[in-house]
Amino acid sequence: MNELFDTHAHLDQLPDLDSALEHAREAGVVGIIAVGTDMRSNEATLSIAQKRRGYVYPAVGLHPCHLASLDSASIEAEIRFVEENLGSVCALGEVGLDYHKRTLADVSKETQQEVFSRLLTLARAADRPVLVHSRYAWTDALRLILESGVTSVVFHWFTGFSSVLHAIMSAGFYVSATPAVEYHEEHRRAVRTVSPERLLLETDAPVWYGREVRYEASPADVVRSLRASAQLRAVSEEALAVTTTCAARRLLGGTASPAIEEGM
């Protein structure tokens, strides 16, 4: 069985966490990065990870879509919580920018960029990787990251311009493949193009996927991310599982992985 790593899941939102984790183990998932999106989510994620050390790796963050419901004082409290806990987690995330028209109707680009920049400063000070949401904001997200000096970054579920993707690779950052790689053309292009050593797998569980048949993802569905990515890149699932799991362990600061097979 392939050893797989789900590098982005919202475990606090799963309706039956114990069952989901049992199915993940049965599918070969050896580790999960659990992300937070606001203080309540962060607290729940920390609690989940505390009970599952060595399997669930917590990240704390502040999702840009949550900013609309927060006043200035609440935003400050959220950022303080992240700062106070960042040293004891594996990464900062989920954070970033969201330029979808629905989001921009409630929270400006300027506010999002200010908060993201402050969070990036915290990540650099704590020497933590950053798990980035960048929907329709790929250029600005990359610009702020490069300005911050942060050196370890994952562009989660990337669907952006090829020029930005090449800049991401030039900077040595990662891109993660979701089950949407089965059908989403922009995401497929990114997963097909990214350097083999810079590709990760994720589910973004419990997001809903599919076009004709819809399903709610769980961490076990990282198998779908693997299968579709391997087909797209014309490599074996076994080889891509090794590559992506080694990359996930590097992201988390693990020991160097075996050499990457060329052409993956």
For 209-252, the pLDDT digits (tens) are 999 899 999 999 999 999 999 999 999 999 999 999 999 999 99
For 37-62, the pLDDT digits (tens) are 999 999 999 999 999 999 999 999 99
Spatial separation of the C-alpha atoms in residues 200 and 241, rounded to whole Å: 9
The pair phi, psi for residue 54, each rounded to 5°, is 85, -5
Report the percent of the chain where pLDDT is more than 70: 96
Query: What average pLDDT does the chain have?
Result: 95
Confidence at residue 259, expressed as pLDDT on a 0 to 100 scale: 30
Asked if residue 257 has pLDDT above 80, the reply is no
Asked if residue 261 has pLDDT above 90, the reply is no
Mean pLDDT of 95-103: 98
C-beta of residue 20 within 8 angstroms of C-beta of residue 205:
yes
| Cβ-based neighbours of 185, under 8 Å, separated by 6 or more | none
Instruction: Print the SS3 string covering the chain.
Output: CCCEEEEEECHHHCCCHHHHHHHHHHCCEEEEEECCCCHHHHHHHHHHHHCCCCCEEEEECCCHHHHHHCCHHHHHHHHHHHHHHHHHCCEEEEEECCCCHHHHCCCCHHHHHHHHHHHHHHHHHHCCCEEEECCCCHHHHHHHHHHHCCCCEEEECCCCCHHHHHHHHHCCCEEEECHHHHCCHHHHHHHHHCCHHHEEECCCCCCEECCCCCEECCHHHHHHHHHHHHHHHCCCHHHHHHHHHHHHHHHCCCCCCCCCCCCC
Confidence at residue 212, expressed as pLDDT on a 0 to 100 scale: 86
Q: In what order do the strands lie in the sheet with 153-156?
A: 4-9, 29-34, 56-60, 91-96, 130-133, 153-156, 174-177, 199-201
CB atoms within 10 A of CB 96: 29
Confidence at residue 256, expressed as pLDDT on a 0 to 100 scale: 26
Report the percent of the chain where pLDDT is more than 90: 95
Q: Tell the residue number behind the tokens 């076990």, with chain if given.
A: 220
Higher pLDDT, 120 or 259: 120
Spatial separation of the C-alpha atoms in residues 4 and 249, rounded to whole Å: 11
Asked if residue 105 has pLDDT above 90, the reply is yes
Residue ranges covered by each domain of the chain: 1-34+176-264
Mean pLDDT of 147-151: 98
Residues in the chain: 264
Whole-number Cα distances in Å, 143 to 57, 108, 116, 148, 170? 27, 17, 11, 9, 13
Q: CA angle, 187 as apex, 261 and 213 as ends, to 5°?
A: 110
Asked if residue 264 has pLDDT above 50, the reply is no
The top-level CATH class assigned to 1-34+176-264 is alpha beta
Confidence at residue 254, expressed as pLDDT on a 0 to 100 scale: 53
Confidence at residue 262, expressed as pLDDT on a 0 to 100 scale: 33
For 2-35, the pLDDT digits (tens) are 999 999 999 999 999 999 999 999 999 999 999 9
